[in-house]
Amino acid sequence: MVITNFQIRKTLQWAPVALLFLAIADVVLYFIPGFLGGLKINGYLTSLILLSIVAFYAYVGYPMFSMNLRKDKITFRSHLALSTLFGKTLVVPRMNITNLQLDFSGLRDKLVVTYVNREGKEVDQKFSISILSERKKRMLVQAVEDFNREKSAQSLHLFI
């Protein structure tokens, strides 16, 4: 099963560009005297726009998310909409994942992946799923339940 929110990529790419254009227009209009009949634009809009961009990414984290459960190696990717340069990718063999858990507490919704790394230590990695649609979140809940059910069946040992 593949769960992704790449369909909102264009919206998330154009929103910061439009806000940046508004901030630049605000600064330009600040230096034009008598524009709009003497209406003073004091440059406060620029700081408000930049603060809103920072607040958005502080809330959402890396907004683009994808999870591929179809193979023996499970892939989790999370990155910015503008570039995949900043982000994180986790590719883990299915057998090394000890737990998948959804955390809906707090400001952000998160997928917590607990796995055994190459050094043999159990490590947690969190991926933000705040911007997934409700339908995709239900699909993710079902996929996590199916995966955990599958893992619990594998962990049963029959001793004779």
Task: Please tell me the predicted confidence (pLDDT) of residue 159.
Answer: 47
Facing residues of 79 across strands? 64, 87
What is the pLDDT at residue 158? 47
Local mean pLDDT, 10-residue blocks, the chain (160 residues): 75 75 76 61 70 74 80 84 74 89 86 90 89 88 88 55
Which pLDDT value is given to residue 124? 93
What pLDDT, on a 0 to 100 scale, did the predictor assign at position 160?
45
pLDDT value of position 34: 65
Q: Which of 156, 101, 109 is nearest to 130 (CA)?
A: 109
| Domains held by the chain: number | 1
Q: Which pLDDT belongs to residue 125? A: 92
HEC-encoded secondary structure of 54-96 = HHHHHHHCCCEEEEECCCCEEEEEEECCCCCCCEEEEEEEHHH
Please give the Cα distance from 74 to 69 (Å, whole number): 5
| Structural domain harbouring 73 | 1-159
Task: Find the helix packing angle between 44-60 and 9-30, rounded to 10°.
Answer: 160
- Give me the pLDDT at residue 48, please: 79
Q: Classify burial at 78, counting beta carbons within 10 Å of its beta carbon; exposed 0-12, middle 13-18, buried 19 or more.
A: buried
In sequence order, the 6+-apart residues with CB closer than 8 A to the CB of 8 are 63, 81, 131
